[in-house]
Amino acid sequence: MPAANAPLFNSSQAAEEAENAGLSPAAGATFGDIVAERFNRRDLMRGLLGVGAISATLGPAALAEAQPAAANPTPSFAFTELSSQPTDRTEVAEGYRAEVLIRWGDAVLPEAPAFDPTRQSAASQARQFGYNNDYLGYFPMPGAANGSRHGLLCVNHEYTNEELMFPGLGRQDAGGPLGRQRAFAGMTAELAAVEMMAHGGSVLEVRRDGESWAVVAGSRYARRITAHTEMEITGPAAGHPRMRTAADPAGRRVLGMLNNCAGGRTPWGTWLTCEENVNGYFSGRLPEGHAETANYRRMGIPGRWMNWGDYEARFDVAKEPNEANRFGWVVEIDPFDPNSVPKKRTALGRFKHEGAAGITARSGQYVLYSGDDERFDYVYRFVTEGRVSGERARDMTLLDAGTLSVARYNADGTGDWLPLVFGEGPLTPANGFHSQADVVIEARRAGDLLGATRMDRPEDVEANPATDKVYVMLTNNNRRTAEQVNPANPRADNRFGHIVEMLPDNRDHTAPRFTWDILVRCGDPALAVVGATFNSRTSKDGWFGMPDNCAIDADGRLWVATDGNTPGRTQRNDGVWAMETEGAARGASKLFFKCPFGAELCGPEFTPDGETFFVAIQHPGETDPEDPSAAPATYENPSTRWPDFRPDMPPRPSIVAITRRGGGKIGT
Ligand code: FEO
Ligand code: CA
Ligand code: CA
Ligand code: CA
């Protein structure tokens, strides 16, 4: 396989596009050169990455010029709010268009067969768009005349819903794959192989023509990543004995990435995609007294939500006890090189990563925030040892060295980042840690020993480059008791979640301390027992529960996407709400976009010009768990057949591109 930074293309089209954009690659420049140059340019960094990234390459004066005016860090939203009435299809605020860009089963690679849900195969699925699209990362095309109208869209395919994907496979119990045991009647090796190919990710070349977006057919960037794609393990755990398996005695190569939920984009143009509920893919029983027993118990391994262990020995912990240590990482992928080997960056720790959104600190170090999505788990931060240099090949190795820390939220509104460093504090052989490899493999147990704050399911964590405030989506925690509340997680039986706002000391994302506040406690403000704290300007349509993903637009405004609103729970479906964070309107929100029945909203992502908003509609057609009259959703009986509405077509997870009629920025 070629080195990650090897030049791959020698394309006249790329050179032409570069020239159009005012780039002047030397004669014979390869596409790799153009990518490298593009990702060094100040205008790109300003547009794509916001103020934080600029600090990596600019002096203080230029930086001050680039900062938005302090008086008005984030302008208010301007759009007419939607009704929250639940429906079987998507809806967007008046004056906007929401068009399906790509659906599960549509072609990604050349020679992908037309999608036929009654004749699925692993070979077809490996070339088609995968299931349950989650994170979306948009990368402007280097050299494009307008990088906000032509780029790469990187997509996570988090997991599969067999009962909605396969005819005749109605789930045998009432549980979903997330959190409950499934029955496997009806599963076969062939169907499991389809599932494996429906996981992972897709790289799509996308282009806007007028108001519509389309996937570029036959693109040389098109890529499918699956549960079988070969990946490299890098960082402190690479090669460690706990990472070695029969198939990989060196502990440096692993097949596939699993349950990739949210992610991030780096200033050097790579896609970070985060493994979340990896425990569910493992079955079997560890040998009695096995050294990984405590580690696996802390991660919920084996979860046996899938029965892949019946078909591939590595997913059976009795047969391959170390394989599960090779999942639960942040994976870095170069989307501009379809032959690049994805890298599992172990320095960032192993847990149920929701996402990995980053910002360049004033020092030039790159800082990633990541939530561990489990009841009572933690918020983490990683600070690179090196600085973002603007030299792409060099920056590509930044995530292999740095300091991982875990958050403690103190009762007085301050907080501390507690470093997970081998040999410091309790992270010593006395507690079973013999190297930094042990610390990153068991990041959760290290966090326990350090006294991190147990949170209500930390999901997306995003830093706002306009204000340096960091937003933590805490989705819910129905197991917190009244004795277990703490100031940062103030509600027992927290069914609707809340959003915590953090501000690093001196607005320095590498600082050891921060202050924090609760932006909003979610749920219906009309029900006193819920204890929601939306700003009173919020309408009956404007409140939400279960914040999950978020996006910060080019104006520094916060958009919140939800997972878990249903007609039975909150009298609304999931969707996107625009949330004010500054001034008198702070804590007010408005409904902008809503999902069809059964779906959650994932992957909110803006183009740099703020004129396109991509969203991912995940698992449309599921049952409302709070509706006792609803029959269990199956392929034959889904709660919606969005987006095709054909009797012979099941619902299909799809990406939607939102634009403003007649052009212009979203929400302005
Ligand atoms: Fe995959 Fe935390 O949602
Ligand atoms: Ca969620
Ligand atoms: Ca999520
Ligand atoms: Ca989710």
Ligand nearest the Cα atom of residue 261 = 1
Cα–Cα distance for residue pair 666/391, rounded to 1 Å: 33
DSSP string, 54-98: HTTTS-HHHHHHHSPPTT-SSPPP-SPPPP----SS-EE-TTEEE
Residue 649 CA to ligand 1 centre (angstroms): 26
In 3-state terms the chain splits into helix, strand, coil percentages (rounded to 5) of: 20, 30, 55
Q: What atom in ligand 1 is closest to the CA of residue 259?
A: 1
Residue 371 CA, closest ligand 1 atom number:
2
How far apart, in whole angstroms, are the C-alpha atoms of residue 83 and residue 594? 9
Amino acid in the structure at residue 115: F
What's the pLDDT at 625? 86
Distance from Cα 261 to the centre of ligand 4, integer Å: 7
At residue 584, φ and ψ (nearest 5 deg) are: -65, -25
Note the pLDDT tens digit of each residue in 565-614: 999 999 999 999 999 999 999 999 999 999 999 999 999 999 999 999 99
Q: Which two tokens stand for residue 642?
A: 């969005």
**Ligand 1 touching residue 163 (CB < 6 A):** no
Ligand 1, atom nearest to 178 Cα = 1
- HSE at residue 75, side-chain half, CA atoms within 13 A, is 12
With a cut of 80, say whether residue 14 has pLDDT above it.
no
459 lines ligand 1 (CB under 6 A): yes
Assigned token pair, 81: 């709010």
Position 127 pLDDT exceeds 60: yes
Q: Which of 655, 496, 613, 469 lies closest to 79 in space, CA to CA?
A: 613
Split at pLDDT 50, 70, 90, the class of 182 is low
Q: What is the 249 CA–ligand 4 centroid distance (Å)? A: 34
How far is residue 259's CA from residue 522's CA, in Å, rounded to a whole number? Answer: 26
Tokens 């909110």 sit on residue: 604
User: For the sheet containing 589-594, what is the strand order?
Assistant: 91-92, 589-594, 575-579, 558-562, 547-552
Nearest atom within ligand 1 for CA of residue 457: 2
Q: How far apart are CA 50 and CA 658, in angstroms?
A: 21
- Give yes or no for residue 33 CB within 6 A of ligand 1: no
Atom of ligand 1 nearest to the CA of 277: 1
d(CA 467, CA 515): 14
Any atom of ligand 1 within 6 Å of the Cβ of 553 = no
Nearest CA to ligand 1 atom 1: 261
Question: Looking at residues 497-524, what average pLDDT do you find?
Answer: 98
Confidence of residue 125 (pLDDT cuts 50, 70, 90): very high
**Ligand 1 proximity of 276 Cβ (cutoff 6 Å):** yes
Q: Which two tokens stand for residue 417?
A: 């980042």
Query: Closest ligand 1 atom, CA of 134?
Result: 1
Cβ–ligand 1 contact at 261 (below 6 Å): yes
Ligand closest to 262 (CA) is 3
Calculate how far, in angstroms, residue 475's C-alpha sits from the geometric centre of ligand 2. Answer: 6
Give the CA distances from residue 521 to residues 13, 398, 441, 486, in Å, rounded to whole numbers and listed in that order.
Answer: 51, 36, 33, 14
Does 292 sit in the ligand 1 pocket, CB within 6 Å?
no
Gap from CA of 653 to ligand 4 centroid (Å): 13
Residue 15: pLDDT band (50, 70, 90) is: very low
Lowest mean per-residue pLDDT among 5-9, 363-367, 452-456: 5-9
Query: What is the reported pLDDT for 428?
Result: 98
What does the pLDDT look like over 236-247, one tens digit per residue? 999 999 999 999
Nearest atom within ligand 1 for CA of residue 352: 2
7, two tokens: 């030049």
pLDDT at 65: 39
pLDDT band at residue 18 using 50, 70 and 90 as cut-offs: very low
Distance between Cα 112 and ligand 2 center (Å)? 31
Task: Please state, for a pLDDT cut of 70, what percent of the chain lies above it.
Answer: 88
How many angstroms is it from 91 CA to the middle of ligand 2?
A: 21
State which ligand 1 atom lies nearest to the alpha carbon of 158. Answer: 1
Cis-peptide, bond into residue 643, ω within 30° of zero: yes
pLDDT at residue 176 in the model: 47
Q: What is the pLDDT, as a whole number, of residue 16?
A: 36
Residue 278 CA, ligand 2 centroid: distance in Å: 14
Using the predicted structure, report yes or no on whether residue 166 has a pLDDT greater than 70: yes
Q: DSSP 3-state assignment of 53?
A: helix
CB of residue 106 inside a 6 A radius of ligand 1: no
pLDDT interval class at 28 (50, 70, 90): low
Task: Answer yes or no: are the C-beta atoms of 478 and 456 closer than 8 Å.
Answer: no
Prediction pTM value:
0.91
Cβ(248) to ligand 1 under 6 A?
no
Rounded CA-CA distance 201/345 in Å is 17
**Pairing relation of β-strands 230-234 and 343-345?**
parallel
Closest by CA to 578, choosing from 606, 598, 599, 597, is: 606
When pLDDT is averaged across residues 8-33 and rounded to a whole number, the result is: 44
Residues 26, 7: Cα–Cα separation, whole Å? 14
Least confident of 69-73, 334-338, 476-480, 565-569: 69-73
Query: Which amino acid, 48?
Result: L
For helices 12-20 and 31-38, give the axis angle rounded to 10 degrees: 30
368 — alpha (psi -120 to 50), left (phi > 0) or beta?
beta
Atom of ligand 1 nearest to the CA of 262: 1
| CB 399 within 8 Å of CB 384 | yes
For residue 449, the model assigns a pLDDT of: 98
Is the CB–ligand 1 distance for residue 574 below 6 Å? Answer: no
Looking at the predicted structure, is the pLDDT value of residue 509 above 90?
A: yes
pLDDT score for 59: 36
How many angstroms separate the alpha carbon of residue 470 from the centre of ligand 2?
Answer: 19
Task: Indicate which atom in ligand 1 lies nearest the CA of residue 159.
Answer: 1
pLDDT exceeds 90 at position 390: yes
Residue 26 has pLDDT above 50, yes or no: no
- CA–CA distance, 94 with 317 (Å, rounded to integer): 52
DSSP conformation letters of 590-638: EEEEEPPTT-EEEEEEE-TTSSEEEEEEESTT---TT-TTSPPP-SSS-
Confidence (pLDDT) at 4: 33
The verdict on whether omega for the bond into residue 525 sits within 30 degrees of 0, i.e. cis, is: no
pLDDT at position 40 is 64
Residues in the chain: 668
**What tokens does 105 get?**
């089963």
Q: Supply the pLDDT for residue 179.
A: 34
Element (H, E) at 386: strand 379-387
* Residue 63: CB atoms within 10 Å: 16
pLDDT band at 55 (very low <50, low <70, confident <90, very high): very low
How large is the average pLDDT for residues 623-628? Answer: 86
384-406: average pLDDT:
98
Under 8 Å between Cβ of 261 and 303? no
Interval 255-283: pLDDT, tens: 999 999 999 999 999 999 999 999 999 99
CA distance 228 to 200: 9
- Token duo for residue 21: 């954009």
Examine the pLDDT at 25 and tell me if it is beyond 80.
no
The DSSP code sequence of 263-302 is EEE-TTS-EEEEE--GGGG-BS-PPTT-TTHHHHHHHT--
The alpha carbon of 7 is separated from its chain's Cα centroid by a whole number of angstroms, namely 29
460 CB near ligand 1 (under 6 Å): no
pLDDT mean across residues, the chain: 90
pLDDT over threshold 70, residue 24: no
- CA 20 / ligand 2 centre spacing (Å): 42
Distance 202 CA to ligand 4 centre (A): 18
- Kindly identify the ligand whose nearest atom is closest to the C-alpha of 618: 4
Label residue 188 by pLDDT band (50, 70, 90): very high
Ligand 1 centre to CA of 373 (Å) is: 6
**DSSP symbols for 431-477:** GT--SHHHHHHTHHHHHHHHTPPPEE-EEEEEE-TTT--EEEEE--B
